[in-house]
Structure 1
C-alpha cells in the first residue's frame, strides 16, 4: 500500500473587501491573500475501500463534513477509484481562526492524491474541484501572493511579497464565517481597503506601502463585538510590528515584523497570555 505526507500552509489576508452581495447568496470579494509557513501536516495511506479521517484536534469533525474527506471523495468519484484512504491530520493551524486551515487541508489532499495515484490532473480540473469544495480552496492550491476576486476563486498572481515575520495571535474564542457575514451590512461599510494601492506596493516591493494599506472590512464589526481583539492589535503594534490586521473573518490578529528579534519578544509576551500564538514567515509556492 502506498502513502504520502504533505504540509498544508495557512493564509493571511493583507486586505479583504466586500464588493456586493450576489443573488445566489454569496458575496463578490476583492482581497489580497498571502501564504505563511504555519502548516498542518497530512498523512495519507491507502487502506481498504473507504475514506477515513483522523485528526489530532478532537474538535475537528472527521465525518463527511470534513473538507479533507470531501476532497478525497471528489477525487475518487471523478476518477472512479475504488481504493480507499486513511487521512490523518496533524493540526497546528488554529480552528475557526480566519486562516483557512480546513481549505488548506482540502487543497493538500487534492494535490497529494494527484501524486499518490499519478492522476496527472491539469490546473483547471484541480481548481474546479477545489471551487466545488469551498471558495478558499483554489487559492490554497496555488498559494503565494494573490489578488482574489469573485467569491475568492478568481486569482491573479502578484509576484513575491517581501519577507516578513508574522506573529499570529488567536484569542480563546472563535468567530464563524457565518457570524461575520451576518454582522456586516455591505452598503454601510465606511472604510474599504485600497486593493489597487496594495497590489502596486507588492509588485514594487514597497514595504511602507504594504504596511500602510492593510485593511479588512470585517474588523470593525468584530472589534465592536469582541473588544479584546482591538486590544490585541494595539499591543502587537506597541511591541514592534510595522502593521497589524485581523485575518479573514477572525478572530486571529497578526502583526508584520521586519525584525526577527522584535517578533520573538512579542511571541514570548503573547504566549504568556494565550494558548494559540505562533510565529511564522511569509512564503511563496
Structure 2
C-alpha cells in the first residue's frame, strides 16, 4: 500500500489491490422471511490474487470522479465505488470527495465479487485517507446496504465462513483455509447475472444438492455448456476439484494447467488465469498483494 501526501495541495492518495473472492463451497439453506424473501446460504469465502488495482486520492472537487480502463464498467452512480463513497460521507459526516482510477482485471458477471471488492476497497480507503477512524467491523456494518458480499472483505482478513444472505461473516485464520497450491480460474466467453441464476435455481428447489455449489444447477439451466467446460478442465487441462464460484460463470480447479492451448482453442473467448493463490491482510492494513511482477494476468 502506498500513501502519498502532496505538500502544496494537501491531498492524500493510495494505491490498493482490490482482490476477487472465491467460494470454495456454497450450500443454499433456505429463504429469509417475507415480504422480500431471499435465499440463505452457508459458504466459505477467501480472497485471491486475481483482482483489480485502485488508485484513490482526496480531491477539492465537489463530487467524486471515477475512471476505468474497461469501457463496459459504469463510472457513474451505478458503480459500487461511487455508492460506497457516498455511504462513507453519510455515515461519517465527512464532506470529502475522492478521485478514483480503477484498473480492471477481475471479469464481470463471474461470481468473483469484483464489484463488491471495489466498493469495500473504496470504503476502507476513504476511512483511512480522511483519518476518520471507523473500525473494520463498523465499515462492514455500513457496507451491508450496498450488497451482501461487501462485509466479507471488511470483517475478515481474507477468509471466512459466511451465512445468512452472505453478509454474516465468521472470520477464519489463513491456516484454517489451508494451502491450495496453484488454482486455475476459467471465465467463459459469457457472464451470468446473479438474479437470473437464483431464479433458475428456485425453480428446482427441493432437488438433490450439487456436490460443492448448489447454484451450479441454476447456472447450467441458463448455460448448459458449463458442464462441458468443467469436464474439459479436468480431462484436457488435468485439473482437480473443479467447481463454480458464487453464481458463476467462472469455474476454478486445482493444479497446473496442461494442454492449455488445446483447451482455449475449443472455447474461443474464454479467459484463463493460472497460479492463482489465496491472499490475506494484517490487522489495520488492506490486502497486501501489490507486487506488479506477481500480479496475476490471463494466460
TM norm. shorter chain > 0.5: yes
With over 3 angstroms needed to count, the CA separation of the structure-2 counterparts of 1:278 and 1:143, relative to structure 1, is farther
TM-score w.r.t. the length of structure 1 is 0.85
1:10 is aligned, of 17, 20, 29, to 20
Alignment correspondent of 2:272: 277
Residues 169, 270 of structure 1: 8 Å contact kept: no
Structure 1 pair 16–266 and aligned structure 2 pair: CA distance change class (3 A): farther
For 1:184, what is the secondary structure of its paired residue?
A: helix
> Secondary structure of the equivalent of 2:205?
helix
**266 and 60 in structure 1: CA distance in 2 versus 1, 3 angstrom threshold:** farther
Change (3 A) 1:145 1:228: same
Partner of 1:218: 215
Query: Structure 1's 270 and 72: CA in aligned 2 closer, same or farther, altered over 3 A?
Result: farther
Among residues 25, 31, 34, which one is paired with 2:43 in the alignment?
Answer: 31
Select which of 217, 241, 251 maps to 1:243. Answer: 241
Contact residue 270 and residue 277 of structure 1 kept, 8 A: no
- Report the Cα distance in structure 1 between the residues aligned to 2:42 and 2:209, rounded to whole angstroms: 14
Per-residue deviation, 1:165? 1.1
* Distance change in 2, residues 1:61/1:227 (3 Å): same
- The aligned residue for residue 140 of structure 2 is 127
Distance 1:227 1:62 in 2: 33
Aligned-residue offset at 1:266 = 5.4
Do the aligned residues in 2 keep the contact of 1:163 with 1:283 (CA within 8 Å)? Answer: no
Gaps of 5+ in 1: 194-214
Cα distance between partner residues in 1 of 2:196 and 2:259: 30
Deviations, residues 84-129 of structure 1 (Å, cap 9, x unaligned): 2111111000011100000000111111112111111113311111
The 1-side partners of 2:18 and 2:206 are apart by 36
CA shift, 1:221, in A, is 2.7
Structure 1 residue 151 corresponds to structure 2 residue 151: no
Tell me the number of residue pairs that the alignment of Structure 1 and Structure 2 aligns: 259
Match in the other structure for 1:81: 94
